[in-house]
Copies of this chain bind each other. A is one copy, B any other.
Amino acid sequence: MKSSIMHILKQSNDWVSGEYLCRELGVSRTAVWKHIRGLREDGYDIEARANLGYRLRSVPDIPYPDEVTVDLDTVVMGSRIEYYTDLPTTNGEAKKLARAGCPEGTVVVAESQSGGKGRMGRFWFSPRGRGLWFSAVLRPMVNLVETPQVTMVVAVAVALAIREHTGVAAGIKWPNDLLVEGKKICGILVELNAEMDRVNFMVAGIGLNVNIDSSQFPPELSETVTSLKIAAGHHIPRVPLLRTILQSFDFWYQRWLREGFVPVLNKWRELCVTLDCPVTVHTMKDSYVGHALDVDETGALLVQTPDGEVQRLVAGEVSLRKI
């Protein structure tokens, strides 16, 4: 009902009488008033005048499903959007929905995460209303060996959306962190639930620092992380940004399903900032220094060690060395 009232107010773009709302929606004046109050509590600025009725002055920059889906043009992404003020992690909630059979493209978004996590179980700072913390459920009909490509699909899609929407030159660090001027601005955590020859579902979690000021980061992070606001020099509305990201994600995901990994990989190479760089590699087994040469056709990083050998890295941690 709140959605319907909002829809009418948005469409009219002018005063709408209470009487009209009652008639259209088949409810009492008291009911209309109750829902208007609810919308105001949600952050919608609605003017009310005795003789004129109601007029929408502004919508809040909060990723409510009703706002995100306005003019959202996608095949699957955002097919269903679940909004929460707080979650332990959006990936956790998305996995729960996925196990229960939610449609592909279901997106879980939260204002804050109490237990936000990055790769390798690391803490991810997710303060209330200052970022886009969300997860999308995917159900690709691919082989298990192709699933790691999804992290690169997401990295490409989000980096391009950031560039297009804000002009901030986000780059990719292998395999899927987004950096701006060497500092992390976005983390991507893709999880997989599969049988050996069938993907049950994947969940792609994205944590993007949007309107966090330098002073708001925990001191131990302040040297290594940044936000779009810091990089762009101004506040960035989150709802249109999220819409752009979902559209870009949808585009690159569909393209990957249709055309395979090559177009993704080519774009990934263009956006990567850690190729032809000295790196330190940490794997589950050992650590070594080397020079990042390229990625191969599977997305593995090729690192040349000082003795000239080339190591093929399918998983692990890579840090840039300053020389």
Which one of A22-30, A58-66, A72-80, A194-202 contacts B? A194-202
This chain: how many copies in the complex? Answer: 2
Contacts of A316 in B (CB 8 A): 197
Asked if A143 and B195 make an inter-chain contact with CB atoms under 8 angstroms apart, the answer reads no
Interface positions, chain A 129-159, Cβ under 8 Å from B, are 141, 143-145, 147-148, 150-151
- Please, how many residues of chain A have a CB less than 8 angstroms from a CB on the other chain? 28
Q: Does A284 contact B (CB under 8 A)?
A: yes
Which chain B residue shows the least CB distance to A284? Answer: B141
Give complex CA distance A147, B175 in Å.
Answer: 19
Contact partner of A196 (CB less than 8 A), chosen from B175, B198, B200, is: B175
Interface string of A184-214 (1 = CB under 8 A from B): 0000011111111110100000000000000
Asked if B315 and A143 make an inter-chain contact with CB atoms under 8 angstroms apart, the answer reads yes
Asked if B120 and A196 make an inter-chain contact with CB atoms under 8 angstroms apart, the answer reads no
Contacts of A196 in B (CB 8 A): 119, 147-148, 150-151, 175-176, 190-192, 315
Contacts of A143 in B (CB 8 A): 314-315
Asked if A194 and B192 make an inter-chain contact with CB atoms under 8 angstroms apart, the answer reads yes
Interface string of A72-114 (1 = CB under 8 A from B): 0000000000000000000000000000000000000000000
Contacts of A119 in B (CB 8 A): 195-198
Contacts of A190 in B (CB 8 A): 195-196
Which chain B residue shows the least CB distance to A317? Answer: B197
Q: List 13 A-B contacts (CB under 8 A).
A: A119-B195, A119-B198, A120-B197, A143-B315, A144-B192, A145-B145, A189-B195, A191-B195, A191-B196, A192-B194, A192-B195, A192-B196, A193-B193
